């Protein structure tokens, strides 16, 4: 964990991906069901041809949204598709499960005067609802950066990270991101931000390694331990 400690010693700002490091958004509202609903919605609009068979079967709502954004950027129905996804995400917050030790880590980092931001492909309104319910919204303030109307800027594009750096006033060299996907890792690299991968299982770990992640933890508790050690000094 020496390298993890060094990353935090060099940082003044932590950027969190939302679904994964902070919570399991779709714990009680399966993501594959949401993806299937989006595919059905496209079919009803006569737009199923915008997806490859693999994309249609991915079980990943953001993969469906990204695929349509790439094939039909700026279209009116794309905005409607995004709104449909946001509706599902808001419903998912009702059964979302906090990632173990994430709440404590967020509070601990703020106690050490770290600037905090959320950098996510989820809707900002979804993040705000979840954090408010957990009593954590004030730890992030105005620094919640979700997807925008420009859906070509979803991660792995670094847009949300760059917006977070701008809003916190922190240079990239003094920030680090905690994320659990290849897209997070790539976006952090593009933004010039150090990256800590969170892999709750071996499949996630292998995907992060393939994306070039070099610092990977299996729990937020490992990160909390590092933060707690520094607090005790």
pLDDT tens figures, 149-196: 999 999 999 999 999 999 999 999 999 999 999 999 999 999 999 999
pLDDT, residue 1, reads 53
Q: The pTM is what?
A: 0.95
Same domain as 87, residue 121: no
pLDDT, residue 2, reads 53
- Contact status, residue 94 vs residue 27, Cβ threshold 8 Å: no
| Stretch 198-216: mean pLDDT | 97
Domain that holds residue 64: 31-94
pLDDT, residue 48, reads 87
Residue ending a domain, choose from 47, 66, 94: 94
Same domain as 223, residue 143: yes
pLDDT, residue 26, reads 98
Does residue 230 surpass a pLDDT of 90? no
* Strand, helix or coil for residue 221: helix
pLDDT, residue 163, reads 98
Residue ending a domain, choose from 74, 94, 114: 94
Count structural domains, the chain.
Answer: 2
Same domain as 154, residue 51: no
Same domain as 202, residue 171: yes
Q: What is the CATH number of the domain that holds 198?
A: 3.40.50.1000
Same domain as 107, residue 162: yes
C-alpha distances out from residue 126 to 54, 57, 96, 118, 203, Å: 27, 25, 11, 12, 26
Label residue 216 by pLDDT band (50, 70, 90): very high
pLDDT, residue 65, reads 96
Same domain as 199, residue 148: yes
Residue ending a domain, choose from 76, 94, 112: 94
Q: Which residues of 32-68 are buried (b: 16+ CB within 10 A; e: fewer)?
A: eebbbbbbebbeeeebeebbeeebbebebbbbbbbbb
Q: Spell out the residues 6+ positions from residue 188 whose beta carbon is closer than 8 angstroms to its own.
A: 15, 158, 161, 176, 177, 179, 194, 195
What are the start-end ranges of the E strands in 17-146?
23-24, 97-98, 115-119, 144-145
pLDDT, residue 100, reads 98
Same domain as 146, residue 223: yes
Same domain as 103, residue 50: no
pLDDT, residue 233, reads 46
Same domain as 201, residue 111: yes
Same domain as 112, residue 164: yes
pLDDT, residue 74, reads 84
Same domain as 70, residue 166: no
Query: Which residue would you say has higher pLDDT here, 53 or 230?
Result: 53
Q: How does the average pLDDT of the chain come out, rounded?
A: 95
Same domain as 171, residue 87: no
| Stretch 79-85: mean pLDDT | 96
CA 55 to chain centre: 20
């Amino acid at each position: 964990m020496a390298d993890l400690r060094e990353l935090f010693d060099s940082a003044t700002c932590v950027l969190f991906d939302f679904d994964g490091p902070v919570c399991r958004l779709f714990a009680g509202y399966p993501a594959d069901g949401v993806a299937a609903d989006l595919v059905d919605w496209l079919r009803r609009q006569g737009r199923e041809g915008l997806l490859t068979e693999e994309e249609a079967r991915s079980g990943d709502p953001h993969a469906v949204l990204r695929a349509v954004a790439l094939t039909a950027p700026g279209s009116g129905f794309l905005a409607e598709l995004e709104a449909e996804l946001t509706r599902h995400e808001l419903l998912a917050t009702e059964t979302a499960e906090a990632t173990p030790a994430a709440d404590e880590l967020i509070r601990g980092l703020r106690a050490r005067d770290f600037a905090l931001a959320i950098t996510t492909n989820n809707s900002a309104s979804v993040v705000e609802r979840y954090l408010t319910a957990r009593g954590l919204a004030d730890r992030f303030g105005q620094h919640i950066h979700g997807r925008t109307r420009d859906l070509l800027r979803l991660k792995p594009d670094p847009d949300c990270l760059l917006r977070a750096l701008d809003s916190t006033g922190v240079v990239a060299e003094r920030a680090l991101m905690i994320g659990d996907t290849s897209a997070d890792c790539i976006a952090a690299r593009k933004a010039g931000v150090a990256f800590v991968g969170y892999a709750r299982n071996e499949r996630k770990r292998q995907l992060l390694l393939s994306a070039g992640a070099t610092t990977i933890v299996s729990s937020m508790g490992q990160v909390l331990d590092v933060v707690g050690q520094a607090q005790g000094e």
